[in-house]
Every structure is written in structure tokens, then in C-alpha cells.
């Protein structure tokens, strides 16, 4: 059972390594959006410090949406998705593997990158730590929920826009609690509740979304 | 035993066939023939459980395949129109990953043997994107060699893009598989002679009539 998850993750990581442009695109987008904001609103340090968590979180969210299109599309076109649907292993496990691999090549690099932004925006050590923790808990949720949207719109023309419409409302709570955690840390209030809620979202999404994605994939491939 | 009961299929509000019935006991070569666009591939996809029929059901050993799900797919190998080959993986990686994802892990020796028998020896470490159509088809067909114990093969136009020797090798493999008491369902436009103890034919009529006839062929020919 676990073997198939590991194999799917390995496969997708290997493919990501061989198509570096896809992965770098997402990271590049994230970096560009976050670095453009100070140029747009001016270099006032206090103002920037206040908006930094929100900016990083919004950029991470948009970068995640940008990367959703290729989550299942390539597998759908070349027929490997069809073979996954006919596997004797449970499809939700395969889906979980794909979502995990997606997070490893998008969410994780963004989270690591955010440490640099913590320094650039002159956030304190605690704030940066909380931001990284919130991204660590939040970005896997983005991958999991995004997978549902990607699976539902698979094979549709203009699926990208539709995916965003489907997925964005579900991303909003993650965004609010994610940037809220950093805000709380900055104003000296306890941020634990925010992180615990993000953790709850993650568990909830990890348990339920693979089933939803599996159903959506079976419908999309018909 | 693969059974089809009162199967009705519609695609895009057009009825392809309705009330299709046939039963293929173990050890049968089931050949599905007919002009383009009459529903052959749709029938195969329904047989696989990828497509839900409008009415009727497919039974494997007496049980509905849509209820059996993973227990059915454990017995099934499907080679479809799409090869299921990743351009950015090597030939060997493609076959290995495919076997793993399908839930049929195979040893390195077995994979090498399958690639050799399918005529891809010497290409194992070549990226699939640099291969010809026929060679990609062979990667897909190598799955059959890896899963020789699967009691049901469903093959959609397996002979396309293969050369003469490839066609001969594959038809021998299919014949042997059927002789061992397994079932093979295939769609093909080429009348490739396959030596099998029991043969059945599902013939789709053209002209949008949706008429289908299922007949048993003489075993001697």
C-alpha cells in the first residue's frame, strides 16, 4: 500500500527533475510577485513589515494555482492516468502520492524561499519562524485542495480559469489563518490557535480530498 | 468468464449500441470488429470499467465489474490507444513505474526479459521521447510480458505501428495466453491470424444502425 505512494512520488519527482522549467516557473513567479510589491508601494520599512506576511501568502497561493494545470494534464494526455485508474492499488493512495510530489516541487521550495523574504522584509526571528511554519502547514492544503479542482476540470478547454474559480474560495480560509498567524506573532499575541487550525485543515484535506479527487478523475476520464 | 448483459452505450447523445449480450468463458479470444465510429473502443472502455454504460453491466466471474473495482483490475491488463509512456522516462523506467503503479511490481530481471522479448533490448536506457511510434507501442506491449499471469487482457488496436515481426510475435503471445485458459479481448482492423482454441467475434454493423452481432467462430480455422 505504502509502496505505491512512494513509487508515485518518486516518479513525479524524477519527471520534475527532467522538466526543470515547470518547477522553476512557479518559483520564479513567486519571487517576482513578492519582490515587485515593495517597488510598487514604496520602501517604508514599517509598512512593508506589516504587509509582508500577507504578500508572501498571496504570492504562494497564486503560484500554487499556476502550477495546478500540470498536476494531471500530462498524465491525462499520454495515457498514464488511464493506467492509474485501472490499478489494483487504491486510487486515493496514488492521488495522495501525486499531491505529495506536487507539494515537494512547489510548496516546499516556496516555503524555503520565504525564509529569505523574512530577512528581506526585516521580519523578526519569531515572525519569520511562524511564517515558515504556517507555510509548511498551509501549502500542502493548497496542493490537496487544488488537486480536486484540477481533477474536476481535466480535459476541459479553458480549464485553468475554471480551476481558479473552483479552488480560490476554498483557499481563502488557509490564506486568512496563514497570514493571520504571522500577524498575531508580530503583535505579540498567541499564534498557536492559527497554526493548530492550519494543522486541522491539513489533516482534514489529507483524509478527504484524495477520495474527492479519485471520483473526479473517474468522471473526467469517461 | 467475461459476461456482457444488456449493455447500452451512448456517446454525446448518440446511441452507439444497445442490448448487447455475450459471454466469453475463460480461454476465449474475443475479437471485436467493425467500421470506425461504431463503438468498439467505447465497448472496450466499458469492459475495463473506465466508462460507465447507460444501461446493463459487465460481469467478471458473475460479478459486476463496477462493484469489483480493484479486485477486477488486479486481473486485468489494458493496452489502450494511448501508450501510457512518459517521454521523460527511459524505456526501463517507463516499464518499471507502470508495473509499480498498476500494483504488479516486477523484478529487474523480469523487466529486462520483457523488454528483450518485445524487441527493445539495447534501448533500455534511451529516453522514450527519442523512440519511434512503433517502439513506444512496444513499451506499452511489454506490460503484457510482465503480467503474463493476468487472466484478462483487453487490447485496443495492439498491432498499430508494429512491424511484421512485431505483429507475428504479438499474435503468438496472444494465442499462447488464450491457450493457458486466459481471456483476451481485442479490437483490430487487421485480420491477423491468431491460433486460439476458442474464438468469438463481436461484429459492429456500420451505418449508425447500432446493430451488433456476437458469434462463435469455428475453433478449427
What 8-state DSSP symbol labels residue B217?
Answer: P
Domain extent for B95: 87-149
- Residue B163: inside a domain: yes
Residues B92 and B136 in one domain: yes
Q: Do A88 and B78 touch (CB under 8 A)?
A: no
For residue B162, give the 3-state DSSP assignment: coil
Of B52, B83, B103, the CB nearest to A4: B103
Of A19, A94, A218, the CB nearest to B101: A94
Residues B143 and B159 in one domain: no
- From residue A106, alpha-carbon distances to A6, A136, B12, B44, B65 in Å are 18, 11, 37, 37, 38
Residues B119 and B219 in one domain: no
Residues B36 and B103 in one domain: no
**In the predicted structure, residue B195 carries a pLDDT above the cut 90:** no
Domain boundary among B104, B124, B149: B149
Q: Is B142 on the interface with A (CB under 8 A)?
A: no
pLDDT recorded at residue B221: 38
Closest chain A C-alpha to B220 CA, distance in angstroms: 35
Q: Do A87 and B83 touch (CB under 8 A)?
A: no
Q: H or E segment at B76?
A: strand B76-79
Query: B112: buried, middle or exposed (CB in 10 Å: 19+, 13-18, 0-12)?
Result: middle
Q: ipTM value of the model?
A: 0.90
Reported as a single tens digit per residue, the pLDDT across B34-73 is 888 888 999 999 999 999 999 999 999 999 999 999 999 9
Domain boundary among B134, B149, B164: B149
pLDDT recorded at residue B185: 94
CATH code of the domain in which B202 resides: 3.40.50.300
Closest chain A C-alpha to B9 CA, distance in angstroms: 12
Domain count, chain B: 2
Of B51, B73, B102, the CB nearest to A222: B51
pLDDT recorded at residue A18: 93
pLDDT recorded at residue B209: 56
- Residue B140: inside a domain: yes
pLDDT recorded at residue A43: 84
What is the maximum alpha-carbon separation in chain A?
Answer: 58
Q: What is the share, in percent, of chain B residues with pLDDT greater than 90?
A: 67
Contacts of A42 (CB under 8 A, 6+ apart): none
Residues B189 and B130 in one domain: no
Q: H or E segment at B199?
A: strand B199-204
Residues B98 and B205 in one domain: no
* Closest C-alpha to A116, from A42, A192, A30, A191: A30
Residues B144 and B155 in one domain: no
- Three-state SS string over chain A comes to CHHHHHHHHHHHHHHHHHCHHHHHHHHHHHHHHHHHHHHHHCCCHHHHHHHHHHHHHHHHHHHHHHHHHHHHHHHHHHCHHHHHHCCCCCHHHHHHHHHHHHHHHCHHHHHHHHHHHHHHCCCCHHHHHHHHHHHHHHHHHHHHHHHHHHHHCCCCCCHHHHHHHHHHHHHHHHHHHHHHHHHHHHCCCCCHHHHHHHHHHHHHHHHHHHHHHHHHHHHHHC
- Residue B161: inside a domain: yes
Domain boundary among B128, B149, B170: B149
Q: Provide block-wise average pLDDT over 10 residues at a time, chain A (222 residues).
A: 92 94 92 93 89 94 91 93 94 97 96 94 93 97 96 87 92 95 92 96 97 95 86
pLDDT recorded at residue B207: 59
pLDDT recorded at residue B214: 72
Q: Do A83 and B98 touch (CB under 8 A)?
A: yes
Question: Residues of A with CB below 8 A from B73's CB?
Answer: 86-88
Q: Do B85 and A8 touch (CB under 8 A)?
A: no
What is the overall mean pLDDT for chain B? 89
Residues B160 and B188 in one domain: yes
pTM of the model: 0.93
When pLDDT is cut at 50, 70 and 90, the band that residue B93 belongs to is very high
Q: Do A11 and B81 touch (CB under 8 A)?
A: no
When pLDDT is cut at 50, 70 and 90, the band that residue B210 belongs to is low
Reported as a single tens digit per residue, the pLDDT across B155-188 is 999 998 899 999 999 999 999 999 999 999 999 8
The label of the residue with cell 473552483 reads: A166
Residues B40 and B99 in one domain: no
- Residue B186: inside a domain: yes
Residues B21 and B59 in one domain: yes
Q: Do B82 and A82 touch (CB under 8 A)?
A: yes
pLDDT recorded at residue B220: 38
- Residue B198: inside a domain: yes
Residues B61 and B105 in one domain: no
- Residue B80: inside a domain: no
- Residue B112: inside a domain: yes
From chain B residues 85-104, the ones with a CB under 8 A of any chain A CB are 85-89, 93, 97-98, 100-104
Residues B108 and B137 in one domain: yes
- Residue B82: inside a domain: no
Q: Check: CB of residue B200 under 8 Å from CB of residue B28.
A: yes
* Closest C-alpha to B191, from B41, B31, B80, B44: B31
Amino acid at each position: 500500500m505504502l509502496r505505491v505512494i512512494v513509487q508515485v512520488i518518486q516518479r513525479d519527482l524524477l519527471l520534475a527533475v527532467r522538466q526543470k522549467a515547470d518547477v522553476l516557473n512557479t518559483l520564479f513567479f513567486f519571487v517576482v510577485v513578492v519582490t515587485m510589491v515593495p517597488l510598487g508601494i514604496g520602501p517604508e520599512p514599517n509598512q512593508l513589515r506589516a504587509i509582508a506576511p500577507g504578500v508572501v501568502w498571496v504570492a504562494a497561493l497564486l503560484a500554487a494555482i499556476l502550477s495546478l494545470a500540470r498536476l494531471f494534464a500530462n498524465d491525462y494526455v499520454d495515457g498514464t492516468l488511464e493506467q492509474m485508474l485501472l490499478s489494483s492499488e487504491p486510487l486515493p493512495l496514488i492521488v495522495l502520492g501525486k499531491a505529495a510530489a506536487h507539494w515537494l516541487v512547489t510548496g516546499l521550495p516556496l516555503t524555503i524561499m520565504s525564509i529569505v523574504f523574512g530577512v528581506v522584509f526585516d521580519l523578526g526571528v519569531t515572525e519569520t519562524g511562524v511564517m515558515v511554519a504556517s507555510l509548511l502547514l498551509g501549502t500542502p492544503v493548497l496542493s490537496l485542495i487544488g488537486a480536486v479542482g484540477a481533477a474536476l476540470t481535466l480535459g476541459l478547454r479553458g480549464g485553468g480559469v475554471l480551476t481558479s474559480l473552483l479552488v480560490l474560495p476554498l483557499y481563502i480560509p488557509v490564506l486568512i489563518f496563514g497570514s493571520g498567524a504571522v500577524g498575531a506573532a508580530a503583535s505579540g499575541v498567541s499564534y498557536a490557535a492559527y497554526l493548530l487550525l492550519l494543522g486541522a485543515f491539513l489533516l482534514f484535506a489529507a483524509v478527504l480530498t484524495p477520495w474527492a479527487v479519485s471520483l473526479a478523475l473517474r468522471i473526467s476520464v469517461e | 468468464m467475461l459476461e456482457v448483459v444488456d449493455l447500452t452505450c451512448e456517446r454525446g447523445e448518440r446511441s452507439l449500441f444497445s442490448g448487447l449480450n455475450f459471454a466469453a468463458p475463460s480461454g476465449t479470444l474475443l475479437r471485436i470488429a467493425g467500421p470506425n465510429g461504431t463503438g468498439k473502443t467505447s465497448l472496450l472502455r466499458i469492459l475495463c470499467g473506465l466508462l460507465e454504460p447507460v444501461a446493463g453491466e459487465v460481469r467478471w466471474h458473475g460479478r459486476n465489474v463496477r462493484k469489483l473495482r480493484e479486485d477486477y483490475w488486479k486481473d486485468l491488463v489494458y493496452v489502450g490507444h494511448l501508450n501510457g509512456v512518459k517521454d521523460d522516462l527511459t524505456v526501463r523506467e517507463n516499464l518499471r513505474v507502470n508495473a509499480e503503479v498498476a500494483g504488479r511490481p516486477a523484478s529487474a530481471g523480469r523487466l529486462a526479459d520483457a523488454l528483450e522479448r518485445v524487441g527493445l533490448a539495447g534501448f533500455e536506457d534511451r529516453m522514450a521521447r527519442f523512440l519511434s511510434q512503433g517502439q513506444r507501442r512496444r513499451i506499452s506491449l511489454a506490460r503484457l510480458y510482465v503480467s503474463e499471469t493476468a487472466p484478462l487482457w483487453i487490447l485496443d488496436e495492439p498491432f498499430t505501428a508494429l512491424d511484421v515481426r512485431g505483429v507475428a510475435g504479438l499474435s503468438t503471445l496472444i494465442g499462447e495466453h488464450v491457450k493457458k485458459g486466459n481471456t483476451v479481448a481485442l479490437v483490430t482492423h487487421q485480420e491477423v491470424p491468431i491460433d486460439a482454441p476458442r474464438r468469438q467475434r463481436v461484429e459492429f454493423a456500420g451505418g449508425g444502425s447500432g446493430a451488433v452481432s456476437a458469434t462463435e467462430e469455428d475453433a478449427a480455422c
